[in-house]
Structure 1
Amino acid sequence: MLGFVCFLGPGIFIALTGLGGGGQVNSKVQANASAMLYATFAFFGLFSGSINNVIGPRWSLILGTLGYSLYISAFLVINIRPDAGAFVLAAGAILGICAALLWTAQGSLMMAYPTEAQKGMFISIFWTIFNLGGIMGSAVAFGTSFKSTVIGNSTYIGFLILTLVGVFLPLLMANPNKVIRTDGTRVNQVRHPSWKTELSRLYVALKTDPWIILLFPMFFASNYCYTWEYNNYNGAIFTIRARALNSLMSYTSQVFGAVFLGYFILDQKRVRRRVRAFYGWSLVFFMAFAAHLWAYFYQKTYTRAEATKDAYKIDIIDKTYVAHVWVMLIHGFLDSMLQTYAYWLIGAMSNDPAKLAVFTGFCTSILIKHHTDKSLQSAGAASAWSTDAAGILYMNIFLSTWFLMVASMIFAAPMVYLRVTDRTDVEEETL
């Protein structure tokens, strides 16, 4: 159920983002709206864990999904009235607040429901369903734009209807205190203390688990990468229908990346958890370096000045298309691996949903696709979209993305070595 809520909200949102410029020929308004979105996301993510513990995960999910409906409607409006850029910016800022609530509720539930042996599987199941939203949305956009050079109103209307359905799905979900795990244990009930206690809980969470700071660069980098991938690569050198197909291929590869790392590597019962943690780190580090090394040779072939002029755009019937789409496939695979590994590391630090809600909310406000990483992800994404809106060179944005991705894994290595154990006892670390 949680996966389908995000399938119909953030899943449709990522399909729109994956088109490059939100499907618009001029991507500047979308870049500015995204910068606003992630800036408010970064700030309110600091408090979203506390809010989630007070109003409960179902209301956090409902309010969160409403923001995605508003954002989609803004692109429908600007498609009809090109002078409605201010509405898109306002919708982006409001979505940042709503998204902080939704992803904090999602992160705490996804990491608290499974047993320790199931966390990788639960994460991969969620990411598979979530990315199906991007796949379906991209398929719809590809079909409707196959014989067109622009995204029509019908595509945005279809996206809007789907997100509105997602608003009501949380009403069908059970409260965490009614859930019993497969091993017979109950999910710890999230307590609802005063706001003062909630603010102190944020401090205590960081004080009791300072190792989380070493994951901040990973959280920051995980959403920073989308700007180059979707606007500066997909949105810059491809036709509209090629963008839609590229987006479809990217989100499909994310499904395989999440299942591969989460189920086949991180949940291998025959291997100790500490060993699995190092396996996961090695795979993500290798993919981060290799994927960007490959993409570098394509980025060298064009500049922002060339892409914004009437330069030829690569279409799906061109001979060079297949080679270029592989960049989208590999980076999609890497993105889901990084997100899955980040979630899994946070889950390995705690089994207490109240503590996890604080972790996920805090990182949501400091940060980018995907939790403790959401603050940092949002800060990273806001930085990247701001540079794109300011017209920074494509190569500079690409190199900064490459550097952040590789450096973030190096920073995370000591935390993996010193903090990840073979088992976490909730009695020893409950706030």
Structure 2
Amino acid sequence: MKLKLLYLVLISLCNILHAEKYFTPDPPPTVISVYEDAVFYDMYAATVNQPLPADAIRQNNSSYTKMLTESQLDSFGNKLTMNITIGALCDNYDRLANVYLALVTKGSADYDTNSVTKLELGRFITPFMNKNVSPTSVPYAFQMDNVAAILKDPVLRSQYDFWIEFVVLGVPYAAQTQVSGCAGRIDTFKGSLSFTTTTDSSIPATNNFLLPITAAKSLNNYSATDVPGQTIRMLSFVLNAPVNNANFYLITSNHGANSGGEEYIRRQHFISLNDQPIYNYTPGGKSCEPYRQYNTQGNGIYGSSAQSTSWWTSWNNWCPGDAVPIRKIPLGNVQAGSYTFQISVPSAQFVGQQGDFPLSVYFQGEKQNVLSTSDVKITDVKIYPNPVVDVVKISSTKKIKATEVYSSDGRLLRVFKGNEADISEYQSGMYILNIIFDDGMSLKHKIIKK
């Protein structure tokens, strides 16, 4: 009996040793530090000349950018979390903050943030913080495994350098009189940003496809709309080939702090693709009590005592001290062709023509085949102005062969060569442009003639 038991133990030990020989455990997490205690300043003041975070460029008082090194990019696995810590300095109000991934032409020493292609990786709201009251910092975490696929994409890496923009808006004027030690100071917040990454060997590799659409594009019904008087944005793009397991990644947040402002009213948002509804949501819907601990400066949102979840969800769109959701909209397999993404918020009012819903969205999925560098170049189409008085212009990374103008009932009115269409002779109303590219693909887009 003892010999049999010893035999079984030896067999088990051999099996374990055999398994260890052929099984390599996944590596431990790697932390990639990008910014450490970067100091932000008054967004309205002249750009300061203060020390910079290591290897960073100051774009303005509220924004830094920094290129990820090849060594850092090589360190990314297929699991990814972005970690941010914001520390209190001399702004004691809730402010908007963002992180962007800028795709910059390979080898560039700098770039224009207003024209570069970029994705918004995360958006968050700072709490009302008093730097003299603990806790003096607030953490944020964003799970973004899909972004790991972008950072590891060899074709994108052959075309672009990846830069991380870190933006924290801030204004010190209230704190200069309300917070001890802030008189005369214009430093608003300090921030740190890092990525924690690891590799899960059970997740199969995919052939990443990325199409940036827009980043922080204004949306309202009075100055930033594609349909006058309505809160609507229509964003057109072209897919040159089918994309599997596709998703939109969408970020919006409602702002407008005036009386009756959009921050204080929850509005339903509707998303459609080529006029077909695909998603809807109403921001908010959660209690802000978990973030009360970080709001150390007295304010009119939190008050002096805890509130019920029903009270918070009756009006609140976001919480000071919390991240804004990144909404993943599944699309399944999407065929090659032209598409128009539309977001509408029909009940939004923007009292006094104040407020804005900054909009960021990109499209990501899996290509069916291995790509060459030319296959992944972004097809970007811009149609402006819209509404239009006379001449509508079209800019595109593809060459435009012709532009057809149709009435709202589908009658062909005129064909224009090139990237302009003069519709000054037509009556006010809605028209449809059919933009035909040299490669035979086309894109339809609605415009409004004033």
Structure with the higher fraction of residues in strand conformation = 2
Higher RCO (C-alpha 8 Å, min separation 6): 1
**Is the radius of gyration larger for structure 1 or structure 2?**
2
For normalisation by structure 1, the TM-score amounts to 0.29
